Structure 1
Amino acid sequence: MKETFSEYYSPSDAEYSEFLERGMIALDANVLLAPYRVDSDARKQIFDILTQLKDRLWVPYQAGYEFFKNRPAVMAGEDKVYQSLESPLVAARRKIEDHLKSITGHPVVTAPDAASILNGIDQVISTIHTLQKGRDSKLEDSLRNDKILSKWEVLLESRIGTCPSPEIHRETSEAVKLRYAEGVPPGLQDEDKPDNAYGDGILWLQLIDQAKLTKSPTLLITDDVKDDWYRRHGGKTIGPRIELIREMRDSAGVPYYQQPLSFFVQRAGKVLHKPVSDKTVRQVVDLSVPNISGEGFRNAVVSELQRHFPVGELIEYSQEFAHVDLAVRVGSAVVGVMINRTPGALRRPTIHRLAEAVSGRKFDAILLVTRKPFTENDQDTLIDLQDESIKPFDAIHWNPHSSTSRLLNTILRLAEQSVSTVRGS
């Protein structure tokens, strides 16, 4: 059976060791950028593993290009920390100024008092501007004296794909465009991006070409965890898209597998006898999703759903009074949507609320949306809840920078399942 349906199987320990011992280990741009986003201990553990695999490493040209393109922004702090400080202060100043105008003449707050309050806020904003300018000059020094880049230069010497000629690049882009039109992954969820829409598709074709040359088992490490790369069931990532494994086998004649960096450092670390700490795993897991505040994530989910459902079909709740954050009516079904604000693993209060929502009668189906990939413990918990649930239930991780289709399609599917369940009972 395994010989016929090998693409549905995860590599055994022996097969995984084969990838590490004689395979090609390809690194995506997000993996090359990962050392800039973790602390020194995690960085050392990641590089220790990769150094032991130095002779197996390879980087598609597209990944190298995206690394250098995005490196300055990552080194500067991709969360734009100073802009994040300035925006709420400017908004607060505006509100305070409007409020002070509304109480003009009040005996307690005089005009000089109001001017003093606003002046204090202006000084804080000015300080942030000064820090911003200082950061820019420090960034130039950091780019010039980049120890992480120096480490990559040693590890990846002669291990970068060749820069394609303009004609080859044009032909590859056209091939990717045709793949997207036919619904062939990867990269489908980037099709509407204004910049680098064909990047994933180009990387994939470059990877296939290199696999044809090396005739080696190919392992891609990528923190791009969108659905056009990975397949999932019940909130659990269960491996690469079947289409990718088949295409690599049919085109290059080699086995293929892929992993997020967090899974790679854990499994490869065990094989190489270089185990990584739980702290490192937690940091690396966090790399797969853009940084966003808990409340900001909730607002992003609500905003996306408001764009696609009529006002009367979407009801928001306060967590103080309900187990879910909002309800979406789809035809005769009501899907309760619970939004996990915490950045890491699911916490006990969240699991408790989820269990009560799943077992309750108020909603026809339940969807949990979280901004980070699920840990193994999370996945086990979700599968248990799914098995125990008397109603359709699913859990997905989503972020505002990815395609909305999965979020919407999951809600529509749960609604349809709930209607089918009622009809069948």
Structure 2
Amino acid sequence: MKSLFKEFYFDNKNTDIWMNSVIVLDTNILLNLYRYSKETSEKLLALLEKSKGRLWLPHQIALEFHLNRTNVILDQQTSYEKIESILRKKSSEIESSLKKELGSYRKKHVTLSIDSIIDQIKSSIDGLISEISQEKEDHPVLLKNDHIKQKITELFANKVGSPYKKEKLKEIEKEADKRYALEIPPGYRDASKKGAKFHNGEIILEKYGDYILWQQIIDFANKKQTDVIFITDDEKKDWWYESKGKTIGPRSELLNEFNYKTGMEFYMFKPEVFMKEAGDVYRESFSANTISEVKEVSKENGDYGSYRSHGEVIIPKMNTKEPYLSTMKHLNQFYFGDNLKVFEYIILLQHNWPFTDQLSKHIEDLIENIPFKEAFSIYKISSNKISSRSDNYDDYNFETKLVIKVYLDDTKGEYFKLKVVESFESELYNCKVTIIE
């Protein structure tokens, strides 16, 4: 009986699997290295270094990592500004509230200095703001000098799978559609996901990402005849079996399909299990605080979607209701050989008027009129921040940061950047434009 239904006798307690299986890290595990504290990232990278001989990366995961890396770095950098802003606001609110509520006690308690109490509280918050501001200054500029990316590149040198060709992708898409309709895992929870990637001349729709990844893992295990351990923060029900709110283990369908097609075993764990179990095997220990941090980051970022915005999406730009058709229209008009690539620009606007939804629409129209582009999107990192004005631009009261992502022939990037500055400064009243990255 056990031999016929092996997936229902799943054994995840065997420590030998960490020495005998290939370890595959999901995209969210690689991206979380940017979200963890410096100490936790270094500890996890050290564990990966010790288990280096057992690592392998499907092409789909490597692609998603590179496409999402910049967004995650920017999320981390801009979080400092958000925290500072919240603390400043709360500091003013607390000061105002205390002055109002404690004001009547000024004369009743001659031995207590109410103003001193308020000043001490305010000083404590100001001290926290200063510490955060210093941490922001000390935060590594990973867009320019990314030691995490460098380490990941070293760990997976010659250990990344090949991409599927167009014919294979079409077969997978058809099979995925059938499975999604019947809710056969994995990937069906992404059936409504919009958007697409473009790589090596191939269009890869976002909704098929998990199923492509699954097929690449199966193909690798079949070819190498190896068991696979998949480490993921994904918590969707098309990967995990849940009962009464508790995660029991991998979906039995996944275990069955993997074994049926490869003759090998598939294991799936959360990162904290990997750190504990593999850590014991490779003599790399993790503190309770570190494990707690990993769980917290997992909870917040477990299903980090591809092309997630740096902040609030203010101008989603698609030319039709069907993303696939929009992308095809763009490719027909602007694809020249193998030169197409995605350009992403971080833009600082200094202005003396509030940034509004009406202005967002105006910016969309400006980009529409710049040549050599079709598909683009704009994300807002921050808006209407009090400007750190220089002596030369005393009229600029606000700062707004935007990210523009656009598909272009790789010879047109500099031209597009110049046209953005020219168009914005000529059409947006009293505005200075700076391309940061």
Q: How much does 1:210 deviate?
A: 0.7
Q: Percent identity?
A: 34
Matched, 1:161 2:161: yes
After superposition, give the CA deviation of every residue in 1:3-41 in whole Å (9 maximum; x if it has no partner): 44431234254x342x22221111111111121111122
Which residue among 282, 297, 321 is the counterpart of 1:287? 297
Q: What pairs with 1:182-221 in structure 2 (closer than 5 Å)?
A: 182-195=182-195, 196-221=206-231
CA 1:173–1:79: 2 relative to 1, 3 Å: farther
CA 1:82–1:166: 2 relative to 1, 3 Å: farther
- 1:79, 1:184 → 2: CA distance? 39
- 1:48, 1:88 → 2: CA distance? 35
Q: What pairs with 1:214-229 in structure 2 (closer than 5 Å)?
A: 214-229=224-239
CA 1:79–1:246: 2 relative to 1, 3 Å: farther
Aligned to 2:35: 37
Which residue among 72, 75, 84 is the counterpart of 2:73? 75
SS in 1 for 2:235: coil
Q: How much does 1:175 deviate?
A: 2.4
- 1:55, 1:291 → 2: CA distance? 28
CA 1:243–1:152: 2 relative to 1, 3 Å: same
Q: How much does 1:270 deviate?
A: 1.9
Note if contact 2:28-2:301 (Cα within 8 Å) is conserved in structure 1: no
After superposition, give the CA deviation of every residue in 1:73-114 in whole Å (9 maximum; x if it has no partner): 11111695378579989x99xxxxxxxxxxxxxxxxxxxxxx
Question: What is the RMSD computed on CA atoms of the aligned residues?
Answer: 3.2
Aligned to 1:245: 255
Q: How much does 1:181 deviate?
A: 1.9
Q: How much does 1:241 deviate?
A: 0.3
SS in 2 for 1:142: coil
TM-score normalised per structure 1: 0.53
Which amino acid in the other structure matches residue 273 of structure 2? F
- 1:248, 1:51 → 2: CA distance? 27
Which amino acid in the other structure matches residue 56 of structure 1? R
Q: How much does 1:213 deviate?
A: 0.7
Note if contact 1:225-1:260 (Cα within 8 Å) is conserved in structure 2: no
Q: How much does 1:67 deviate?
A: 0.6
After superposition, give the CA deviation of every residue in 1:45-84 in whole Å (9 maximum; x if it has no partner): 2122211211111111111111111101111116953785
- 1:55, 1:3 → 2: CA distance? 31
CA 1:79–1:189: 2 relative to 1, 3 Å: farther
Higher helix share: 1
Aligned to 1:64: 62
Number of aligned residues = 249
Write out the 4+ residue segments of structure 1 that deviate beyond 6 Å after TM superposition. 85-89
Higher strand share: 2
Which amino acid in the other structure matches residue 59 of structure 1? L
Note if contact 1:23-1:219 (Cα within 8 Å) is conserved in structure 2: yes
Gaps of 5+ in 2: 91-135, 196-205, 303-437
TM-score normalised per structure 2: 0.51
- 1:86, 1:36 → 2: CA distance? 20
Q: What pairs with 1:33-182 in structure 2 (closer than 5 Å)?
A: 33-77=31-75, 81=79, 142-182=142-182
Aligned to 1:7: 7
Q: How much does 1:248 deviate?
A: 0.1
Q: How much does 1:282 deviate?
A: 1.0
Gaps of 5+ in 1: 93-134, 293-425
After superposition, give the CA deviation of every residue in 1:351-389 in whole Å (9 maximum; x if it has no partner): xxxxxxxxxxxxxxxxxxxxxxxxxxxxxxxxxxxxxxx
Moved more, 209-218 or 176-185: 176-185
CA 1:82–1:36: 2 relative to 1, 3 Å: closer
- 2:268, 2:216 → 1: CA distance? 15
Which amino acid in the other structure matches residue 274 of structure 1? E
Which amino acid in the other structure matches residue 55 of structure 2? L
CA 1:83–1:228: 2 relative to 1, 3 Å: farther
